[in-house]
Amino acid sequence: MAKTVITTQHRDWAWIFVGAQRRDEMVLEMQNLTEINSIEKQDLNAVQFNTSRPIESLVKVEDISGQFWKGKRMYVYDPRTIRVVVPAKQGEGERITSMVQRTGAVAGVNGGGFNDPDGLGNGFAPIGAIMSGGNILYTDQEGSNPQQIVGFTKEGTLIIGKYTINELLKLGVSEAVSFYPRVIANGKPLITSGDGGWGRAPRTAVGQKADGTVIFIVIDGRQTSSVGATLKEVQDLFLEDDVINAGFLDGGASSEMVYLNELITKPSSRYGERRLPSAFLVFDHPEKVDVKNIWAGLTTIDPGGAATHPEFQKEQAELRAQGKLPTPTPKATPTPSVKPESTNEAGKSGASASPSGTESVKPNISDKPNTTTSPTTSATSGSGTATTAPGGTTSTKPSTTPSPTPSATPKATTNGATTSATPTPSVKPN
């Protein structure tokens, strides 16, 4: 139970189960394990692509289940058909069903993490990096600073681990988002004891077989019919398919899969699908997909929150109209009768940021040609929480630092976000 609480936005409460000292030790253990598992570089020659399939067999989706969970597994037989897609307009994220319908995609899953004030963010303030079509659409790290990456090269090789923006450009990575943890590296499982340390939660994960086949897994959670999966359970699902590299995408309430314009999983948010900053979508003709940089030219980014969340505000208005007490505005940090002791780690609380979660997304301007000024993220509701964790909670966000300075080769735009009302990111696996 303590592990599950640690991967939510209210990490401090884990002291109730194990005490403050043990809680802090557990948080450190999780973060250290994530960092260690992201270091080993991949063998890029391990994948021998088999793409001689008719387009009708591009994607296959099947039901999967375990003792405590239900979900979906999607096979994508040509990894070059996978693209990162972002919202259509500035100011708010976009639901995956909307992205799929708008772009004509065959299928898709949620992507990277984002700042999520009150657990009610607008999905427009990413954490980490976003690349599409070889262009850097967003980044909050300097070009020489490593960050947690899940992406694909132009040839279709899945890349997972800690890489700098400069390294991604040299490797020919074309599609990427930020999240973690990595659970299989070069054919070796990285969780060899315990359950991975993140408890049970909704999960989204991706892996690749030696023949190039990509597998997306989405597990429903926080529901009576499906509590959620542990990191190890998802790792073991990949191992059953002989996956050689695998890791997690944003989890919690963000986890979902769409196929043929239909939402085929059950998001855990009471408001249904969340607005998100990125998604991995599958296309018949990926080369025809034009992904615009919606963060270009912005100087500030508003991550949203309870005060501007449409469904939450509608719910409040209905309660007032009925003469009932309004549901209190969610707060990132509850005020308990017995106040929980805070963790010793600086700048970390909550559940989803990256194992090395940072407190604010502060990108800088890159010296790379054709780059845009990095925006500053301003929090609308004063109690924002940035989150990112493997199978964590409402929204996830990998560790953040100053904005990247990618190498001056490709024409990429670099954007990042700083938080004025600095949201405290939390660590969550997806």
DSSP 8-state class, residue 319: H
Looking up tokens 């405290």, which residue turns up?
424
- Tell me which of 333 and 46 has the higher pLDDT: 46
Residues 6+ apart with CB under 8 A from 386: 113, 114, 115, 116, 127, 303, 350, 352, 353, 357, 358, 359, 360, 361, 397, 400, 419, 423, 424, 425, 426
**pLDDT (tens digit per residue) in 44-86:** 777 777 655 665 689 999 999 999 999 999 999 999 999 999 9
User: pTM of the entire structure?
Assistant: 0.74
pLDDT digits (tens, 9 = 90+) for 152-201: 999 999 999 999 999 999 999 999 999 999 999 999 999 999 999 889 99
- Cβ contacts of 235 within 8 Å, gap of 6 or more: 183, 184, 189, 190, 191, 196, 246
Per-residue pLDDT, 33? 67
pLDDT given at position 211: 96
220: which residues sit within 8 A by CB, 6+ positions away? 69, 70, 71, 202, 226, 228, 255, 265, 266, 267, 268
34 against 308, higher pLDDT: 308
Confidence of residue 422 (pLDDT cuts 50, 70, 90): very low
